[in-house]
Structure 1
Amino acid sequence: MEHFSATAGHVLFLNWRDTRNPEGGGSEVYVERIAAELVARGLRVTLFCAAHRQGLPDEVNEDGIRLVRRGGRHTVYLWAAFYYLAGALGVGPLSRRRGGRPDVLVDVCNGLPFMTPLWARRPIVKLIHHIHREQWHVVLPAWAARFGWWVESSFAIFVYRHCRHITVSDATRQELIQLGVPAEQISVVHNGTPPLPPTDAERAASPLLVTLNRLVPHKRVEVALQAVATLADELPQLRLVVAGQGWWEGQLREVANNLGITDRVEFRGFVPEEEKAALLASSWVALTPSLKEGWGLTIVEAGSAGTPTVAFRSAGGVGEAVLDGQTGLLADDVDDYVAKVRTLLHNHELRQQLGDAAREHAATFTWPAAGSRFAALLESAESPRQTRSRGAPSYLLP
């Protein structure tokens, strides 16, 4: 049987974006931080992703990860197969004669996976942050949403039925089991907590809320805006900073204008790490109103700054990133969400208590620990070559 060694070899990650992509988010941070930990353990790592910012070249980043960018948001899937198969045919950077042949593939599923078992014989791990059941109908027309959900919930489950699955929360693990993935094939590797740069920033003198999100519909920043509008009269100095960028920003600005709170809301756009550290340290409460998160990286980032978060109980992995009533508060609906925000803004003692516990909770998640567990799980990955006897489909090339 063909095995991968976690102390030597070449890992090929396939992900639709990288952290330098303007639409990159927490899942991209996870992939690259895990990849950096693998490099630190002596592995070679290539990350294949979509091209962006015209002219941005392939590169080896400061962590030693080789980034290859081809195709766009949708065509990256075809380009990935071409990139791999060209190497299998003996041409291109992945060819055996050039020493580029990967020993294991990590197929990152963001709704749609790369379907690697259909065209690769190397050991395969499917990395999935969360199930997109609720999100398909938010971002796509009804017919496309139905098709996307069928691919994610049925076709992909069949295609990857013999593959090791890695996810970032037990909530997603349970959803995968409900979709038919055998429990013994799913392992959880939590996010680490990204270290924030040192900052001299202190808590703001007046109520300050922050939400760190990509500005897309399923992040539901509208809920944060509604909270500000509802609490404005009782908290005249209340302000909200919306940190992040995305194509939904125009709609959010319109919502803020319709709610009459444009003077209370600052759309700050992308914030560098130093500014993020200062913003989290000065905010009273962080808001994560997302429809669904695999984990909630910004929650533990806020926690590392001693800032509690309010999120939705039904939003997947946030129930593990936020310990309800201990490191933050979880809400059941929008009215409850606003009520939870109100409670924290008015109760300094509770806010301080939750913030201190959030800092301790965030410190328990480290990238070195996550990297070690991920590397160990790669060793259990199988090649589709070994699954033929169990009824797997026929595969194309080595």
Structure 2
Amino acid sequence: MRVLIDSRWDADTGIGKLYREVMARMPGYVSPRFVQSRMGLGNLLTPLMLAREIGRHDADVFYSPSFMPPLYSRMPVVFTIHDLMHLFYYTKWHRLYYQQVIARLAANADQIITVSQFSKGQLVELLGIDERLITVVYNGVDDCYRTDTDSVTYQSDAPYFLYVGNRRKNKNLPAMLTAFARAAIPREFLFFLTGDSDGETAELAGQLGIGNRVRFLGHVAEEGLPALYRGAHATLFVSLMEGFGLPVIESMAAGTPVLTSTAGPLPEVAGGAALCVSPHDIDAIADGMERLVADSEGYQRLKEAGIKRSAKFTWADTAARTWEVITDKRRK
């Protein structure tokens, strides 16, 4: 089967990770072709460019690992919408483009893949997409994250909570920092963040009186993340909204308990194996941190439950289900 693939998403991002894992497990009967354009991923003309690329290629189906579909297509189209963050946390122009362009084009797709039941519900409710066009395929977690006796652990001079991710508004980082400052936990506990220091976050930490307890780790390559998770006392991921929430299952696989959110798909992904609190309630977030420090029995239960839960998410399953959707000729 000849599949035309939008390979521009091959990068060190969450979408790029999905793309690489799916491509690494391409079935032997698939003959790939790749979009040749180097147009930027955020270019508003991408749908037109993809339509032209489709016109130039002899393929049976088009596949993209992200949200930009072609303007028109003479072959079946399968693409992935991870979340609807653009409708809530970007500019009004992003919102209009998503509603007036992406939503209209998505309705013409043969199949849309999304990464959680929550995201599927949003696609139906907010974009009006027929639920029969949407297939949920969960993300996976690398085996390198899974805990074992030979695993390397990040060495720190003090216990730390860990946040892995960017600093966008939906990540709710100010609330987590405020809760950390408020939590009745030993002051030896530190707050580690991936990424470089930025003025806004550093200023807030200073205002909260925890500037000396917050550590910016800079860019952490993926091969360094498993040890970082394992060394943490717990991972903090109390977001306002996500499409999936990959750090939740990565941390679980590493044997590190997670404090996450009751919002969006995070309870769905956690499956009862993480401590979930309201992302809008700073006292609840602080209480969650206190419980993770003080309740040793509950901490151990979360650790064991997390390892078990994370085992249900593998990239092999993700790739197999994705290729099943791409190559399924029973679509309209």
Q: Shared fold (TM-score greater than 0.5)?
A: yes
Task: Write the distance in 1 (CA, Å) between the matches of 2:174 and 2:274.
Answer: 23
Contact 1:132–1:149 (CA<8 Å) still a contact in 2? no
Within the candidate set 311, 314, 326, 2:260 is matched to 311
Deviation at 1:359, TM superposition (A): 0.8
Work out whether residues 4 and 54 of structure 2, in 8 Å CA contact, stay in contact via their aligned partners in 1: no
Q: Distance in 2 between matches of 1:249 and 1:215?
A: 9
Alpha-carbon distance, 1:28 to partner: 2.7
Gaps of 5+ in 2: none
**What residue is the counterpart of 1:152 in the other structure?**
98
Match among 142, 156, 161 for residue 209 of structure 1: 161
Separation in 2 of the partners of 1:370 and 1:299? 17
Pairwise mapping of residues 184-203 of structure 1 onto structure 2 (< 5 A)?
A: 184-196=132-144, 199-201=151-153
Q: How does 1:34-113 map to 2 (within 5 A)?
A: 34-38=22-26, 40-45=27-32, 70-75=38-43, 77-78=44-45, 81-82=48-49, 85=52, 88=55, 95-96=56-57, 101-109=58-66, 113=67
Q: Which amino acid aligns with 1:327?
A: A
Aligned residues: CA RMSD:
2.9
- String of CA shifts for 1:23-79, please: whole Å, max 9, x gaps: x2x2332232122222x545344666xxxxxxxxxxxxxxxxxxx67233533x535
CA distance in 1, matches of 2:31, 2:279: 44
Q: How many residues align?
A: 325
After TM superposition, give the deviation of residue 320 of structure 1 in Å: 1.8
Residue 355 of structure 1 pairs with residue 309 of structure 2 = no
| One-letter amino acid of the structure 1 residue matched with residue 306 of structure 2 | A
Once residues 302 and 99 of structure 2 are traced to their aligned partners in structure 1, the CA distance between those partners, rounded to angstroms, is 37
2:77 to 117, 121, 124: 124
Q: Relative to structure 1, is the Cα distance of residues 218 and 18 closer, same or farther in structure 2, using a 3 angstrom cutoff?
A: farther
Q: Structure 1 residues 293 and 87 mapped into 2: Cα distance closer, same or farther (>3 Å)?
A: closer
Residue of 168, 176, 181 corresponding to 1:229: 181
- The answer to whether structure 1 residue 19 and structure 2 residue 7 are counterparts is no
> Which amino acid in 1 is paired with 2:162?
V
* Amino acid of the structure 2 residue aligned with 1:119: Y
8 Å contact 1:203–1:283 — kept in the other structure? no
CA distance in 2, matches of 1:200, 1:184: 44
Distance 1:234 1:281, change over 3 A: closer
Q: Which residue of 2 aligns with 1:366?
A: 314
Q: How far apart, CA to CA, are the structure 2 residues paired with 1:235 and 1:79?
A: 51
Q: Is the CA contact 1:209–1:285 (under 8 Å) kept in the aligned structure 2?
A: yes
Aligned 1:290-301 pairs, distance under 5 A: 290-301=239-250
Residue 266 of structure 1 is matched in structure 2 by: 215
Q: Is the 8 A contact 2:3 2:63 kept in 1?
A: no
Pair 1:10 & 2:9 matched? no
C-alpha separation in 2, matches of 1:207 and 1:256: 18
Distance in 2, matches of 1:175 and 1:256, equals 34
Aligned-partner Cα distance in 1 for 2:51–2:103: 22
CA distances 1:171-193 after superposition (whole Å, capped 9, x unpaired): 11111221322221111101111
Residues 236-247 of structure 1: pairs in structure 2 closer than 5 A: 236-244=187-195
Q: 1:174 to 1:80 in 2, by over 3 A?
A: closer
Residue 21 of structure 2 aligns to which amino acid in structure 1?
Answer: R
TM-score normalized by the length of structure 2: 0.86
Q: Secondary structure at the match of 1:196?
A: helix
**Alpha-carbon distance in 1 for matches of 2:195, 2:33:** 27
Whole-Å Cα distance in 1 between the matches of residues 185 and 68 of structure 2? 50
Counterpart CA distance in 2 for 1:103 and 1:46 is 10
Secondary structure of 1:263 counterpart: helix
Task: Please point out which of 161, 177, 187 is paired with 2:107.
Answer: 161
- Consecutive unaligned residues of structure 1, counting only runs of 5 or more, are 1-7, 49-67, 89-94, 387-398
Superposition deviation, residue 222 in structure 1: 1.8
Are 1:13 and 1:45, in contact at CA under 8 Å, matched by a contact in 2?
Answer: no
TM-superposition CA deviations, 1:135-155 (whole Å, max 9, x none) = 33xx43xxxx2x432332454
Distance change (3 Å), C-alpha of 1:87 and 1:305: closer
Structure 2: distance between partners of 1:313 and 1:83: 38
Does 2:314 align with 1:346? no
- Corresponding residue to 1:331 among 278, 286, 289: 278
Aligned to 1:28, which of 16, 19, 27? 16
Separation (CA, whole Å) in 2 of partners of 1:265 and 1:340: 18
Q: Which amino acid aligns with 2:230?
A: A
Instruction: Mark the CA change 1:321 to 1:204 in structure 2 (over 3 Å): closer, same or farther.
Output: farther
Q: Distance in 1 between matches of 2:94 and 2:253?
A: 36
User: Is the Cα contact below 8 Å between 1:196 and 1:273 reproduced in 2?
Assistant: no
In structure 2, how many angstroms separate the alpha carbons of the residues matched to 1:114 and 1:278? 35
Give the structure 2 partner of residue 52 of structure 1.
none
Q: 2:268 aligns with which of 311, 317, 320?
A: 320
Q: Give the letter for the 2:119 counterpart.
A: T
Cα pair 1:303 1:359 within 8 Å, conserved: yes
Identity %, equivalent residues: 22
For the structure 1 residues 27 and 366, does the alpha-carbon distance in structure 2 shift closer, same or farther, using more than 3 Å as the test?
same
Q: TM-score, normalised by structure 1?
A: 0.73
Structure 1 position 200, deviation (Å): 3.0
Structure 2 counterpart of 1:167, which letter? T
